[in-house]
Amino acid sequence: MFRAVLIEKDDAGYRASVKALDESTLPEGDVSVRVAYSSLNYKDGLAITGRGAVVRKFPMVPGIDLVGTVEASSHPGVAVGDAVILNGWGLSEVHWGGLAQRAQVRGEWLVPLPEAFTPRQAMAIGTAGYTAMLCVMALERHGVTPERGEVLVTGASGGVGSVAIALLAKLGFTVVASTGRPQEADYLKSLGASEIIDRNELGLPGKPLGKERWAGVIDAVGSHTLANACATTKYRGTVAACGLAQGLDFPASVAPFILRGVTLVGIDCVMAPREDRLEAWRRLARDLDVSKLELMTREIGLDEVIDTATALLDGKERGRIVVNVDR
């Protein structure tokens, strides 16, 4: 038996609870993992509360992240005793995820835990931090350097935003953080932000083109915020879009793209190829200040996950939430 958060949907409705499950209920997979930690992300919050159509198969164990030790494997690239990380690959959607003490997964989904990180630190990074690194890598590929000017990070108090600020600051960028929580200004500056702006400067309907300011943008918000970020990005700047906290819509014009040569890069963390994942984790091990990581992280147990998921969606949480599945 093992403990897990379980989402069910039937005639009684949509609900999430912590249950003891038999290992025979685990889904198919060629690797069995004893989970040490998971994390709580925005997507997990949507799945657990039912506020978003994330789960496509019931019952479902949510949790898009996990780190743990391989207990059994028939996959040629994965051995018993390996310390491994899993991010994405349909966890919480069509395959049981990491908010449990056990997981049965496909070996090709796993990447090694970098020696630079403890299991807890790996989940403090989690999908949010791995996504932030993919965004930074995208900006770099398109020629965004510290010398070109400021980089905007939206949704700055969240998981992606917090890690993105820490990464960019260590790499020498001047970071401007956009947030709806002005009380978090000191926190964001401690991560490396040089300036804090109110999210309403970008979150309301704007013009097709605004004054050029940003050399690059990492956006976890979408909707009007993403549209206005593109409209105020400098000539040949780059915007990396990875989230939808404000909405799925994109009420923009083509003006920034055809008049200023702005590049909009979509960042997919769920199905990213293995080589991209390995590179992102290698870069995180090199470029993330783990002391900053601790500033943005708090730990909870499985029994706290459901209430915390609601608080996360309501904007009452900041940074990263690590879940100790044995608590």
- Classify the phi-psi angles of 57: left when phi > 0, otherwise alpha if psi is within -120 to 50, otherwise beta: beta
What is the pLDDT at residue 197? Answer: 98
Model pLDDT for residues 22-49, shown as the tens digit of each residue:
999 999 999 999 999 999 999 999 999 9
* Predicted pLDDT of residue 308: 98
Dist. CA 40–CA 45, nearest whole Å: 7
Whole-number pLDDT of residue 246: 95
pLDDT in tens, 128-176: 999 999 999 999 999 999 999 999 999 999 999 999 999 999 999 999 9
What confidence score (pLDDT) does residue 287 get?
97
pLDDT at 120: 98
Q: DSSP alpha helices (H): ranges in 20-174?
A: 42-49, 119-141, 159-170
DSSP 144: -
Q: Which residues of 177-206 are buried (b: 16+ CB within 10 A; e: fewer)?
A: bbbbbeebbebbbebbbeebbebeebbeeb
Structure tokens at 212: 């050029």
Checking DSSP bridges between strand 65-73 and strand 31-40, what pairing results, if any? antiparallel
Instruction: Characterize the bridge pairing of strands 151-153 and 83-87.
Output: unpaired
pLDDT (0 to 100) of residue 248: 94
| Cβ–Cβ < 8 Å for 243, 222 | yes
Q: Spell out the residues 6+ positions from residue 14 whose beta carbon is closer than 8 angstroms to its own.
A: 7, 8, 50
State residue 35's pLDDT score: 98
* pLDDT reported for residue 147: 98
Own/partner contacts of 162-165, CB < 8 Å, gap of 24 or more, are 162/128, 162/188, 162/191, 162/296, 162/318, 162/319, 162/320, 163/125, 163/128, 163/129, 163/132, 163/133, 163/288, 163/293, 163/296, 163/320, 164/132, 164/135, 164/136, 164/218, 165/191, 165/192, 165/193
Pair 217, 239: CB distance under 8 Å = yes
What does the pLDDT read at residue 242? 97
* pLDDT value, residue 320: 96
Report d(CA 30, CA 43) in Å as an integer: 26
Set out the domains of the chain in order of their start, with CATH numbers.
Answer: 2-113+296-324 (3.90.180.10), 126-266 (3.40.50.720)
Who contacts 125 (Cβ-Cβ below 8 Å, separation ≥6)? 117, 163, 284, 288, 293, 320
CA contacts within 13 A on the Cβ side of 181: 16
Closest CA to 220 of 281, 134, 161: 161
Q: Give the residues of the chain that fall short of pLDDT 70.
A: none
- The whole-angstrom separation of Cα 253 and Cα 73 is 50
Using CA atoms, how far apart are residues 277 and 111, in angstroms rounded to an integer?
Answer: 8
- pLDDT value of position 283: 98
Distance CA 72, CA 273 (A): 24
